[in-house]
Structure 1
């Protein structure tokens, strides 16, 4: 999704949000291996150190898939808060790995996508649920 350069720090992690939705909706179809492969493709496409997105996606999807029955019972706003917690975990792991590998230092703007991801979760959830019901994906 193209954004102006000034909005780049606020870009939500669309791929992770979509992976989280499908791990909650159909956990028997989307697993940790799928998240690892998608993360590897993101690493290759973005030029980040190989395996950083793979590891962080896999851990986040493990947490969501292992608790999918509990998370499904929450309201959409409670799910949004939990997704924000998982996105915080993702960004802190990303920072830690990049700090270890590249010597990057922490800046608070790393966590802006958590807020925008929480706010966009409601729309991602409703849109993907509509498509899942329309195409009868079980």
Structure 2
């Protein structure tokens, strides 16, 4: 596999995360939807910092704002904040066991909910329902299988270069 073809994993994972964010869910569980895009961006910021940084997070966030019909810049800001924190602690987080990484990702997802709540409150937008605060726990539980899947695909593509 050539170097150029090995780069398919990153864009496909971002598109898949966007699509998972668009999947219609029943109203009672809509607020429990994990922040798929945040999880995907977190993986890439941790594992491929030369490809995924603050600019990457901002660009992906703007695309997500357009795709989801959010306030333009909301997800971009959220993802940039997440990417900044991840970059700051990347050296430590990468070498945590997956269980501890999950806790750190859970804390980042709670921080994301706080940022979202503050933004919505400041702009007079409707606040998140109380059940939305359970979504970070779901994202935290999804981190290990998602990390292992992305790592397997990325390293398999890398080995075939």
TM-based fold match above 0.5: yes
Give 1:106 shift.
5.4
Tell me the alpha carbon deviations over residues 18-64 of structure 1, each in whole angstroms, 9 at most, x when there is no partner. 11001111112101001001111111111111111111100101110
Tell me the alpha carbon deviations over residues 81-136 of structure 1, each in whole angstroms, 9 at most, x when there is no partner. 00000001111101110111134345422212101100000111000000011100
Query: Gapped runs of 5+ residues in structure 2?
Result: 1-19
Structure 2 match to 1:39: 61
Structure 1 match to 2:144: 122
Q: Does 1:30 align with 2:52?
A: yes
Q: CA RMSD in A?
A: 1.7
Structure label with greater radius of gyration: 2
Q: Specify which of 86, 90, 100 is matched with residue 78 of structure 1.
A: 100
TM-score, scaled to structure 2? 0.80
Is the CA contact (8 Å cut-off) linking 1:95 and 1:104 kept in structure 2?
no
- In the TM superposition, 1:5-16 aligns within 5 A as 5=26, 6-16=28-38
Tell me the alpha carbon deviations over residues 60-88 of structure 1, each in whole angstroms, 9 at most, x when there is no partner. 01110221110011110100000000001
> Across the two proteins, how many residue pairs are aligned to each other?
138
Q: Which runs of 4+ in 1 moved over 6 A?
A: none
- Structure 1 CA distance for aligned equivalents of residues 67 and 128 of structure 2: 24
Query: Gapped runs of 5+ residues in structure 1?
Result: none
TM-score, scaled to structure 1? 0.92
